[in-house]
Amino acid sequence: MQSYQEMSKEELLKEKKALEAEYKKFQQRGLKLDMSRGKPSQEQLDLSMEMMDVLSSDVDLTCEDGTDCRNYGVLDGIQEAKVLLGDMIECNPDNIIIYGNSSLNIMYDTISRSMTHGVMGNTPWCKLDKVKFLCPVPGYDRHFAITEHFGIEMVNVPMLSTGPDMDMVEDLVSKDESIKGIWCVPKYSNPQGITYSDETVRRFARLKPAAKDFRIYWDNAYCVHHLYDIDQDHLIEILAECKRAGNPDMVYKFASTSKISFPGSGVAAIATSANNLEDIKRQLKIQTIGYDKVNQLRHVRFFKDSHGIAEHMRKHADTMRPKFEMILAKFDAELKDLGVGSWYSPKGGYFITYETLEGCAKNVVAKAKKAGVVMTPAGAPFPYGKDPKDSVIRISPSYPSLEDLTTATEIFVVCVKLASIEKILEKA
């Protein structure tokens, strides 16, 4: 296949005419396909339905330590749930607080508490002239929405194949006291699927921030979301590295079972140092008497231990793997030699990122919508929704059926080709 960049104007116009005919056929089918968000499919949700049977009216709802899960109390979660999630995220159960169903909610609360009451005795952010956050890009749009909501200035940090550009991170945090945190999705990152290298994690742990209340917001959302049994990415554990580097308080680690059990009814947690836990609990005991212990117990009795979670995630992988492989195979077959973009082939997580020629992403997404495929808005993986190169598109393979996803991918490929030719012809 000849690269579009090497084609003559006449050859490009001929290719464009053929693609427009193909595109029109897709439009005439009246399709309604949704690839906009990383939601589990019905097939994935069905994997956890037996969880609804582990508790019933004739079951003992008492924990191993005698706690009655039906009653008030246990601010930081039942011990069995701490052990289960602690094993899952490779943390000591003593360093964990179990919350409700949403890790995003914990992150929002953590930012909110920092704004109003400060971090471990430091000045509340709302009393400071300026507060900044580092944002690896492309990144998770909901992270950026939280910091934007609180009026925090967001600073883009480029993502490399090893994680965020640590030269830039180290330089910025060491010089600017107004930088209070950085968003991270360290394993199978949203949206590229990159896992931070060992060296990147160690450099995070060794940071020397100017701000005493600087924190790494380590959202380990996809820690067990592998696509393959053997070929998996490995992420070294950040809390242990921070402790080793003499920075035990520098990280908040977040996780949940949202894409393991039920997104609306999972269990979420924060893991951090004893000093941070004490700081968090001071606010938490005002906010709640305790989260849903019955749901915590339900998860423990369904999964039993980390091996149960691993087996369960193999079933998730069986539904996700064909979708990822189909998309990547089509990209290889249809786009690889055309010089119209690039992509990363992740070994896990929920997304594939396609990077178009500069200035084409919005056009591709708009064309796809007109052909019946709804995608994440171009620009979403950047603070304020502004992609400086207009080139990054997040693809969410999980929710549609394989059949629908195949059709959506075929449409996407045609849209990429058309938008690319239009961009090249603009310069011709």
Q: Find the mean pLDDT for residues 286-296.
A: 96
pLDDT at 37 (0 to 100): 87
pLDDT at 427 (0 to 100): 83
Q: What is the pLDDT of residues 154-168, one digit of tens each?
A: 999 999 999 999 999
3-state per-residue secondary structure call for the chain: CCCHHHCCHHHHHHHHHHHHHHHHHHHHCCCCEEECCCCCCHHHHHCCHHHHHCCCCCCCCECCCCCECCCCCCCCCCHHHHHHHHHHCCCCHHHEEECCCCHHHHHHHHHHHHHHHCCCCCCCHHHCCCCEEEEEECCCHHHHHHHHHCCCEEEEEEEECCEECHHHHHHHHHHCCCEEEEEECCCCCCCCCCCCCHHHHHHHHCCCCCCCCCEEEEECCCCCCECCCCCCCCCCCHHHHHHHCCCCCCEEEEEECCCCCCCCCCCEEEECCHHHHHHHHHHHHHHCCCCCHHHHHHHHHHHCCHHHHHHHHHHHHHHHHHHHHHHHHHHHHHCCCCCCEEECCCCECCCEEEEECCCCHHHHHHHHHHCCEEECCCCCCCHHHCCCCCCEEEECCCCCCHHHHHHHHHHHHHHHHHHHHHHHHHHC
The chain-wide mean pLDDT, for the chain, equals: 97
pLDDT band (50, 70, 90) for residue 340: very high
Q: What is the pLDDT of residues 102-134, one digit of tens each?
A: 999 999 999 999 999 999 999 999 999 999 999
pLDDT band (50, 70, 90) for residue 1: confident
pTM of the model: 0.97
pLDDT at 269 (0 to 100): 98
Q: What is the pLDDT of residues 24-57, one digit of tens each?
A: 999 999 999 988 889 999 999 999 999 999 999 9
pLDDT at 9 (0 to 100): 95
Q: Find the mean pLDDT for residues 371-377.
A: 96
Q: What is the pLDDT of residues 183-239, one digit of tens each?
A: 999 999 999 999 999 999 999 999 999 999 999 999 999 999 999 999 999 999 999
- Check pLDDT > 90 for residue 428: no
Q: Find the mean pLDDT for residues 229-251.
A: 97
Domains and CATH numbers, the chain: 4-44+310-427 (3.90.1150.10), 61-304 (3.40.640.10)
Q: What is the pLDDT of residues 48-103, one digit of tens each?
A: 999 999 999 999 999 999 999 999 999 999 999 999 999 999 999 999 999 999 99
